Amino acid sequence: MAERGGDGSGRLVSRPRPSVAARWIGAAAATLVWLLAARIAGPCDLYDQAQPKTIGYTTDVVVNDRWILPYSLGVEPATKPPLYNWVAAGPVAAFGFDSTLAHKLPSVLALVGTWALVLLAGWRWPGGAVTLGATAAIMLVAQYPVFKLGYLARPDMLLTLLMAVSWVAATTLMMSRADDAGRRRTLWQVLFWGGIAFGALTKGPAVLTLLVYTPIAARVIAGRWGAVTRVGLWGLPLALVPVAAWLYGVWRVDPVHLREELWFQEIYGRVTGTGREGSREGTVSLLTDGGNVVAYFVVRFLPWSVLAIFGIWDAWRTRRDDHAAWPRGAAIFVIVVIVFFSVSAGKRADYIAPAYPAAALLAAWSWQRRTAGWGRWGPSLLGVAAVTALLTLTVHNERQPVAPAAGFGDELVEFARAANAEIARGPAPVEFLWIGETPVQAVMGFSQAPGKPALDARIGAGRPFWVVAGRKTSDPGDFAAWAHLRRPVRVEPRIRSKELPRTRGWPVQISLFRVEPAAQPQ
């Protein structure tokens, strides 16, 4: 049963009784717990989605204090701003380099924060009640992109939270009265510009979508372009300060990397298709792949994308007043994000993750409008759809379809732990050779350039040391044979991983060797 009350506009709206509200919040929380349990207890996937690089950057921050421009494997400078690694550094230092959860904790916290923001934002919608927010929170969690990104050592989920905060703040400010002032407005302005500043330090130019959204929202929601000043234009230079400071720091460390990688490859090259991060077809894909981003949204956000599209349609059919402001704001933001990333030669599905919180709210709003007279059938059908989606995603995750072999990620982490335990029993310097693009070195807590020069120096020094080396298919494939060709030494294999499928630069097998000087002849 629901009780009726005013929403401040003279119109009666339905608000659930406390017991009903608690059940809705409980259902939304259950979907979040399901996602986290399925991903945390599921197979380790640290090898996937460029996570080895992110993990390598975080390890470098902790080990070498390189906060401005961290390196992966000690030789590859970061190609993304470092906020994710700054947040992960504390948990990794506290719980260990081999803690998968510690490396992914920024994404987990961002997932929980985004879920809570969507839950609370439902109260601000037309006839807002906890049921709308809870429905949106369920839809946010029970879909593939968030199921994946919410437990991935990549910056996308953190960016999604920060941009969602800025979007909510901007929309709230557009709905405020022109003469509103005081601490509340200032707080929303700080949240708006803070989300942009920290979002830029997370994944760079993606936050420009908010600067596109804001003037459009001023015209559509507030009725005039000049309302854009409600976000407090004083915040723009303040938001630029931390970004400019980081860019200046990178310039001081490596100006060539700033120009060639962070600007050309990561931004200009992606947009124009002229860089390696663009597309195989080059600049022409600006036109030929125009529909890809829309397809990503429709397919990956199923089953809720259909409802979100209906919600966009409903937002423009609704009479223009305060009750249409939130749906129209959400519709504008979703469209801006999709169009923004469509006008680029390089297109990836993860780019549009910041659109999903607003899309979930639109889908929930559309769902409630269409099921208002269904009684208990509406919540029941929603529950069936959410459980089906989560069950499908959980089974898919357990089957590890992108893994080279079952248990691949767990095997790498277990090898790293066993190797560290063996090294602890006989402390000595550690070097790496032929480990490819694996996260093993970072998970062991090392960040240095692997390769032959360091090994030659260690062998020449005549003191014991450890080597973590991959086995190649070429001759000599094993480190022991290679070392004997360089100089007489005693090489003892201590731990070997299982044989690994050779793919994407992975070695066939990884082993830990103890290297000691050869006995001198009497």
Query: In the predicted model, what is the mean pLDDT of the chain?
Result: 87
Which tens digits make up the pLDDT trace of 494-512? 999 888 776 656 787 899 9
How many other C-beta atoms are found inside a 10 Å radius of the C-beta of residue 310? 17
User: Containing H/E element for 505?
Assistant: none
How many other C-beta atoms are found inside a 10 Å radius of the C-beta of residue 420? 18
pTM, two decimals, is: 0.91
Q: Give the C-alpha separation, 227 to 223, whole Å.
A: 8
Q: What's the confidence (pLDDT) of residue 127?
A: 67
Which tens digits make up the pLDDT trace of 51-104? 999 999 999 999 999 999 999 988 889 999 999 999 999 999 999 999 999 999
Question: Does residue 458 register a pLDDT over 60?
Answer: yes
Predicted confidence band of residue 153 (pLDDT cuts 50, 70, 90) = very high
Q: What's the confidence (pLDDT) of residue 4?
A: 45
How many other C-beta atoms are found inside a 10 Å radius of the C-beta of residue 351? 22
Mean pLDDT value of segment 16-25: 79
Q: What's the confidence (pLDDT) of residue 158?
A: 97
| C-beta of residue 454 within 8 angstroms of C-beta of residue 486 | no
Closest C-alpha to 272, from 344, 347, 351: 344
Which tens digits make up the pLDDT trace of 319-332? 666 668 899 999 99
Q: How are beta strands 71-72 and 76-77 bridged, if at all?
A: antiparallel
Q: Give the C-alpha separation, 230 to 79, whole Å.
A: 34
Closest C-alpha to 159, from 207, 120, 211: 207
Closest C-alpha to 325, from 216, 221, 224: 221
Question: Does residue 3 register a pLDDT over 50?
Answer: no
Predicted confidence band of residue 212 (pLDDT cuts 50, 70, 90) = very high
Q: What's the confidence (pLDDT) of residue 159?
A: 97
3-state secondary structure of 19: helix
Closest C-alpha to 215, from 201, 227, 203: 227
Helix axes of 156-175 and 322-342: crossing angle, nearest 10 degrees = 140
Question: Does residue 39 register a pLDDT over 90?
Answer: yes
Q: Give the C-alpha separation, 263 to 260, whole Å.
A: 6
Question: Does residue 26 register a pLDDT over 80?
Answer: yes
More confident residue, 289 or 55: 55
| C-beta of residue 134 within 8 angstroms of C-beta of residue 152 | no
Which tens digits make up the pLDDT trace of 328-383? 999 999 999 999 988 876 668 889 999 999 999 999 999 988 887 787 888 889 99
Q: What's the confidence (pLDDT) of residue 453?
A: 83
Which two three-digit tokens encode residue 160? 């999604």
Which tens digits make up the pLDDT trace of 459-503? 888 889 999 998 877 776 788 888 877 777 888 999 998 887 766
